[in-house]
Amino acid sequence: VEEIAVTPANINDGKAGPDTLPDNPGEVFADSAYCGNHFGDAVRAKGGTPRIVATGMWGKDEAETLARLDAWNQPIHRIRGRIEKIFGTWKRSYGLRRMRWRGLAKAGVQIRITAIAYNMKRSLNIIAMAG
């Protein structure tokens, strides 16, 4: 985990997404919450390529349309699965099912400390596998 952005719960992910993008982000993988033009245009404006999961496509032939949808989503799901695994580990093993404190600043501290702990444990695993 290299960067973290914490937003209030009443802010939609798709609306907060463009503010969290770094310069020249490369490929940006996202779920269907980011499917609007607002996010995709922001990624392109910063020099990146949006890779957003599609939930539906139009077409006359249903089988062909489903095949196109699967072909589009398959490479995205492969990468997003590795990304979402981090959040699952945080929830399951690091206590992020609930926030300990109220307030954006305190929640941000909790998430950043969790990310540091996760990175330290992950680096130990990587070193052990290399040795």
- Going residue by residue through the chain (131 aa), what tens digit of pLDDT does each one get? 888 888 888 988 878 888 888 888 999 998 888 887 888 999 999 999 999 988 877 778 888 888 988 998 999 999 998 989 999 999 999 999 998 889 999 999 999 999 999 999 999 989 999 87
Domain count, the chain: 1
Task: Using CA atoms of 124, 128, 129, 131 in order, give the dihedral in degrees to the nearest 10.
Answer: 140
pLDDT at residue 22, as a whole number: 86
- Is 85 inside any structural domain? yes
Residue 111 in domain: no
Domain range enclosing 37: 13-99
Neighbouring C-alpha atoms within 13 Å toward the C-beta of 115: 12
Within a domain: 49: yes
What does the pLDDT read at residue 57? 76
4 in any annotated domain: no
Residues in the chain: 131
- pLDDT for the residue 106: 95
58: Cβ contacts below 8 Å, ≥ 6 apart: 65
8 part of a folded domain: no
Residue 43 lies in a domain: yes
| Any domain includes 112 | no
Cβ pair 108, 23 in contact under 8 A: no
Question: What is the per-residue pLDDT for 128?
Answer: 93
The pLDDT of residue 107: 93
Say if 23 falls within a structural domain.
yes
Question: Residue 104's pLDDT is what?
Answer: 93
